[in-house]
Amino acid sequence: MERRPSTASLATTFCLAAALVGCGKGQASNPPEAPAEDAPAEGATSEDETQALRKRLAAAAERAKAQAAEERARWTPELVAQVEALLAKDYPTAKDALVAALASPHRRPGHAERDRYRHPVEVMEFFGLRKDMTVVEVGAGAGWWTELLAVVLHRDGKLVLPSYAEDDPDPTRAYFGLRDRLLLESAPVLYGRVERFIQPSGETSFGPPQSADMVLVVRMLHNWHRFGTFDADAKAAFEVLRPGGILAVVQHRAPEGGDPDEWAEKGYLPEAYVIDALGRAGFELVAKSEVNANPKDTKDHPEGVWTLPPTLALGDVDREKYLAIGESDRMTLKFRRPEG
């Protein structure tokens, strides 16, 4: 049964897990990807805890602003000209555009190092990405996929990031709204045609009904489960897709038969659980791929999936061991919203 924490507990846990602990232990490409600190019990958020949360969010916001300024400074006139030429070209296929984007110097430092674990060309071929699609990317984070899809979809398609208003009453949502804006403003030439869809306060929506061809959800489903929002998020994904639209899922994979509650706290979910949960939301499973499988991932790490790269939550402790394992074992699943 899906857990449903109180709003206060949800906001506190989400913030501590994604915005604060993640910033302290290393930036994952698609937050939230860091272990949660102990959160208060449902309904137990005190005024002191609320003030502490806001203080930590403010500090996280300042770090995000500093990182964004550093990224903007990297965009020299020469780099801008290179990206303008990259975007101006009419690529025959989405694969051609993606290959060009992967080789481009516009990518953030460190992002290209993840390619060998994330297999972007093979993954997008499996999902059936076309350059004329409208794609909704849920949880852009530091923009690992965003910086690639912005190129692929620039001429003929559309990339949409569900986001939040920076004056949202929920301080966690407001923080992530700020982060999304800073991401897009860090490179206007690249992200000028990327749209932010601001979700109404207190609601979960990924865009106007039946407006998208694909919803991309990468390494996020464990958080949907942890924070009791799986049903709402799956519903939002279903509603924004046109009939026949694709839900593209990449997710850290727990051992089959494992307890989803226990494994979600470690960042993983059992594949059968994911298929069943999304099936209940109305999706049809189209195909599975093992392109992101990693048999070296024993899944018994001290800090869960965040022990592995790119987070490396233990810092220098056994660093070479975890670098040798690489990123997590992941399921790669293609779902469809049924026609009619």
Chain segment 173-229, per-residue pLDDT in tens: 999 999 999 999 999 999 999 999 999 999 999 999 999 999 999 999 999 999 999
One-letter identity of residue 195: E
Three-state DSSP at 55 gives helix
* Residue 273 confidence (pLDDT): 98
Locate 228 and state its tokens.
């009791």
Spatial separation of the C-alpha atoms in residues 298 and 171, rounded to whole Å = 36
Q: CA distances (Å), 220 to each of 51, 249, 253, 330, in order?
A: 27, 9, 12, 12
Please name the residues in contact with 149: beta carbons below 8 A apart, sequence gap of 6 or more. Answer: 135, 137, 159, 216
Residue 2 has pLDDT above 80, yes or no: no
Mean pLDDT within 81-107: 98
Mean per-residue pLDDT for 102-113?
A: 97
Does residue 319 register a pLDDT over 60?
A: yes
**SS3 state at 291:** coil
Across 13-22, 25-34, 45-54, 187-196, the highest mean pLDDT is recorded for 187-196
Longest dimension (CA), the chain: 57
| pTM for this model (two decimals) | 0.88
* pLDDT given at position 47: 80
Whole-angstrom Cα distance, residue 18 to residue 56? 12
Look at residues 199, 246, 191, 254 and name the one whose alpha carbon lies nearest to residue 222. 254
Q: Which of 10-19, 25-34, 307-316 is predicted most confidently?
A: 307-316
Average pLDDT, the chain: 89
Please state the rounded mean pLDDT for residues 306-310.
Answer: 97
Percentage of the chain beyond pLDDT 70 is 87
pLDDT-derived band at 15 (thresholds 50, 70, 90) equals: very low
Report the candidate in 156, 176, 158 with the shortest Cα–Cα distance to residue 223. 176
pLDDT value for 26: 33
Residue 196 and residue 166 in contact, taking contact as beta carbons nearer than 8 Å: no
Query: Residue 35: what pLDDT?
Result: 34
CATH of the domain spanning 7-336, picked from 3.30.70.260, 3.40.50.150, 3.40.50.1110, 3.40.50.300: 3.40.50.150
Q: What is the mean pLDDT of residues 46-74?
A: 92
User: What are the structural domain ranges in the chain?
Assistant: 7-336
